Chain A
Amino acid sequence: MEKSSVSTLLKMEGVTKRFPGVIANDRVDLELHNGEVLALLGENGAGKSTLMNILAGLYRPDEGFITIRGEKVSIHSPQDSMHLGIGMIHQEFMLVQTMTVAENIVLGLQDLPLIPPMAEIKRKIIELSDRYSLKVDPDRFIYELSVGEQQRVEILKLVYRGAEVLILDEPTAVLTPQESRDLNGIIKTMLSEGKSAIFITHKMDEVLSFSHRVQVLRQGKTVAACKTEGTTPQELANMMVGREILFKIKKAPYRPGEPKLILDGVTVEDPTGRPVLKDISLTIYEGEILGIAGVAGNGQTELTEVITGLQKAVSGRITLDSQDMTNKQPLHLIKAGMSHIPADRGAMGIVGDMSVADNLVMKRYRSEPIASRHGVMHATKIFGFAKKMISFFKIATPKPETLVKFLSGGNIQKTILAREIDSCGGVLIAVYPSRGLDVGATESVRNNIVAQRDKKAAVLLVSEELDELLSVADKIGVMFEGELMGIVDAATTNKEELGMMMAGMRGGNA
């Protein structure tokens, strides 16, 4: 049956998938060859995840069919998909937090004996993780792992099941640049073993470095499919959005005002008493964006959570507008004008089982005009407000009443951004705000953040993308192992200097 190296492995023909109020996929054809990486591009809500979920057995197409090696197949469940050698890593990870790595990897395997031979399973996991350099301890619990490590577990899960076709839905959105490069290496190893991959991303440089071919979706339809070689990021971006993308930010000159948010010697410990944030002192002025760079897991989460009242400082002082805010409740900080775009959007940013409209008012439901003084909420006011926000922030949703969990990943992120930017009253804490957004939305989010700064807000912007920090921030602080390595001027610094500080060297005015 083996043919030449360019034989078609998997084919989707005329695939259509409708959801209440939207056509997510509209007669899409897709072809994957043996041993290649296909990049699947498109704006937020274009239908990429839906198309891949059909291959993974989560959704059934309304029309169209799928063939694998020339044979027609029907995929009814993730198990079917697995038996056909297809494995998918979803945009939102699907790991059981309270189980170990090894347990997660074998979870759902059908031929597993009643009492699984854990020792043997672990041996196999370690063997596989050596082969693909996916370093992870099979005995750790998932909740103990960083997102990068969790993703390695997801990949291990797939190779353990012998997947031949890997589907990766925005795998690098949550990864550090180094982890992304590692992932690229892992994929290359797999290709050399004859596996193939479909790769969804919004990052153009990754498209160029990872993939052999690209396919672009717009509003559920295929608008282009071509060889990666010979395209440019600009071309791809224009194809996705259907208009010119400028990759440029409108920014007024830097004119900081009074000191707004001040941290003085703030230290945070994890539950075991280990310091995870060490003696941090920094000041953010009105009308200033302080960027925070650093490899994920070096204290950025703790920094933003101690500011937003979600974690307790064991020592030090936080003041906002010269008022003491150390260890105050989140509500207190919200009332003082603080907005927070959290890193973990699914868990902390939204309530998936409530509507888009409800999620949009979650910062405004406490006061008029959304709620009366007596606490009665006005459905029509909520609805009207939501409609305005949806159109202003270009959130793609069938209706304001649609449950947020049914939106595409990028549109979930836009819902959070819309709510937090709208309600921002002077301080904005933004963690990876452009994660998972398409190029057009990324551009508009960055402009929105800059607009807050131009309106005299103090902004803390945590990002893993140095380009983003360099173009958006006024100053950049670098974190390493819970410490601030220094703060430098965004206008005069460069990637080399930041890179050195990210590796633990002190710099700037520390």
Chain B
Amino acid sequence: MRIVLEKREARSKTVTVLVPIISFVVSLMLGSIVLGLSGANPLSTYGFMFKGAFGTWIDFTETLVKAIPLLLTGLGVALAFKLRFWNIGAEGQFIWGAIGTSWVMVFWNFLPLPLLLPIGLVMGMVAGAMWAGIPAILKANWGVDETLTTLMLNYVAILFAEYLYYGPWRDPDGFGFPGTKRFPQEGWLPRFAGRAHYGLFLALAIAILLWFLLSKTRWGFEIKMIGKNQKAARCLGVSIEKSIVVTLLISGALAGLAGATEVAGISHRLQKGIDMGYGYTAIIIAWMAQLNPLACILVSILMAGLLVGGDQLQMMVGLPSSMGLVIQGLLLFPLLAGSVFTEYRLKIVRKVEA
């Protein structure tokens, strides 16, 4: 008896939906092994995490706070992945978004105060777009591999931000605290509950808009063509170079907007700790949502819950808060392995007469 993989005749829709769900369950199971090894009861720990993230309205608003940047970066990554452009640089683009916004908020004193927020957010998007534009242009014109460039540019961005808030941008009245001056209050992104700010509705609207653009417009049609058969797309008159650059500018702008809303809505300054790793979690979100912008909404709330729930663990059970991150990391394996089953199925074979 042995087990073989048999190719499916058609890609299964049900499996496409099931894979992320099952992957999530499997990663929880793998996580429970880790929990067990560190002496905790997995079930009650997960219970704590769930309660911590979704138990009360206030907890839930904290989950939403994290879901905003996760959703925006997730959308950016999913968009690039649709083109098969492996943008793993959302982290760097996020940081540049934060830098761009902070620059306007702190240094553009000449702006009328009501313009601070809109112009600040736009500048964040421009900065993120610029940071994604570099690898896009390198790839489009000289075929430079984007996984390497986007990844390396993350470190450049992190170090540059560090240079700014430790160096020239440090608040002179901040008692040495690594961060800029606080933004003028008029520039803050208003909040609607707890720390949850209106960036949430911006992100939701963008998710819906992106879904529409990708599934109903010429632009989305071309992205699909390029992603699924670049050679044929070229033959049919699609400019690959232009599409890569345009799409990546948008991808970077979304990650940049995430960074922008984070500083304008939460920290109100550029400060140490801005590199939260949202840009990496975004990769998991994009995969788990199977690159569908609407699915990204649900998945980013789930992921945010995992992060918030993980934070609660530390307080309530004394486990390290990184437990949420561990489970997130564990997600990727069953997810990647699981996608095999959209194309293949398992079959148990008794015996083969030869």
Interface residues of A (CB under 8 A from B): 19-20, 58-60, 71-77, 80, 83-84, 308, 310, 329-331, 333-335, 340, 342, 347-354, 358, 362-363, 365-366, 371, 375-377, 379, 403, 406
A residues in contact with B352, CB < 8 Å: 73-76, 80, 83
In this assembly, does B191 line the interface, its C-beta being within 8 Å of a C-beta of chain A? no
In this assembly, does B233 line the interface, its C-beta being within 8 Å of a C-beta of chain A? yes
A residues in contact with B232, CB < 8 Å: 347-351
A residues in contact with B9, CB < 8 Å: 19-20, 59, 406
In this assembly, does B56 line the interface, its C-beta being within 8 Å of a C-beta of chain A? no
CA distance A80 to B351 in the complex (A): 10
Which A residue sits closest to B354, measured CB to CB?
Answer: A83
CA distance A61 to B5 in the complex (A): 16
The verdict on A347 contacting B229 (CB below 8 Å), with A60-B6, A403-B10 known, is: yes
B residues in contact with A334, CB < 8 Å: 236-237
Whole-angstrom distance between the Cβ of B221 and the nearest chain A Cβ? 6
| Chain B 325-354: CB-based contact to A (< 8 A → 1; otherwise 0) | 000000000000000000000010100111
**Is A330 touching B236 in the complex (CB atoms < 8 A)?**
yes
**Binding stretch for chain A, among B88-96, B178-186, B212-220:** B212-220
B residues in contact with A77, CB < 8 Å: 4-6
CA distance A83 to B2 in the complex (A): 15
Other-chain contact of A371, B10, B218, B224, B225 (Cβ < 8 Å): B218
In this assembly, does B37 line the interface, its C-beta being within 8 Å of a C-beta of chain A? no
Which B residue sits closest to A73, measured CB to CB?
Answer: B353
Whole-angstrom distance between the Cβ of A45 and the nearest chain B Cβ? 15
**Is B6 touching A76 in the complex (CB atoms < 8 A)?**
yes
**Is A351 touching B225 in the complex (CB atoms < 8 A)?**
yes
**Is A340 touching B235 in the complex (CB atoms < 8 A)?**
yes
Whole-angstrom distance between the Cβ of A90 and the nearest chain B Cβ? 13
10 contacts between A and B (CB under 8 A): A19-B9, A76-B347, A77-B6, A84-B354, A348-B235, A349-B235, A350-B229, A351-B224, A354-B224, A362-B236
Which B residue sits closest to A59, measured CB to CB?
Answer: B9
The verdict on A376 contacting B217 (CB below 8 Å), with A72-B353, A347-B231, A353-B229 known, is: yes
Which B residue sits closest to A366, measured CB to CB?
Answer: B218
Interface residues of B (CB under 8 A from A): 4-7, 9-11, 216-219, 221, 224-225, 228-229, 231-239, 347, 349, 352-354
CA distance A6 to B234 in the complex (A): 53
CA distance A80 to B4 in the complex (A): 10
CA distance A135 to B100 in the complex (A): 62
Whole-angstrom distance between the Cβ of B239 and the nearest chain A Cβ? 7
**Is A351 touching B233 in the complex (CB atoms < 8 A)?**
yes
Whole-angstrom distance between the Cβ of B69 and the nearest chain A Cβ? 30
Whole-angstrom distance between the Cβ of B345 and the nearest chain A Cβ? 10
CA distance A406 to B343 in the complex (A): 13
CA distance A76 to B4 in the complex (A): 8
A residues in contact with B235, CB < 8 Å: 308, 310, 330, 340, 342, 348-349
B residues in contact with A348, CB < 8 Å: 231-232, 235
B residues in contact with A333, CB < 8 Å: 237
CA distance A428 to B188 in the complex (A): 60
The verdict on A365 contacting B10 (CB below 8 Å), with A73-B353, A74-B352, A347-B229 known, is: no
CA distance A111 to B279 in the complex (A): 44
**Is B237 touching A330 in the complex (CB atoms < 8 A)?**
yes
Whole-angstrom distance between the Cβ of A316 and the nearest chain B Cβ? 22
CA distance A350 to B234 in the complex (A): 11
**Is B217 touching A377 in the complex (CB atoms < 8 A)?**
yes
B residues in contact with A379, CB < 8 Å: 216
A residues in contact with B234, CB < 8 Å: 310, 330
CA distance A377 to B232 in the complex (A): 20
**Is A331 touching B354 in the complex (CB atoms < 8 A)?**
no
**Is B219 touching A375 in the complex (CB atoms < 8 A)?**
yes
**Is B228 touching A354 in the complex (CB atoms < 8 A)?**
yes
B residues in contact with A353, CB < 8 Å: 228-229
Q: A76-B6, A375-B218 are in contact. List 20 more A-B contacts (CB 8 A).
A: A20-B10, A58-B7, A71-B353, A72-B353, A74-B353, A76-B349, A76-B352, A310-B235, A330-B235, A331-B238, A333-B237, A340-B235, A348-B235, A351-B232, A352-B229, A365-B218, A365-B221, A377-B217, A403-B11, A406-B10
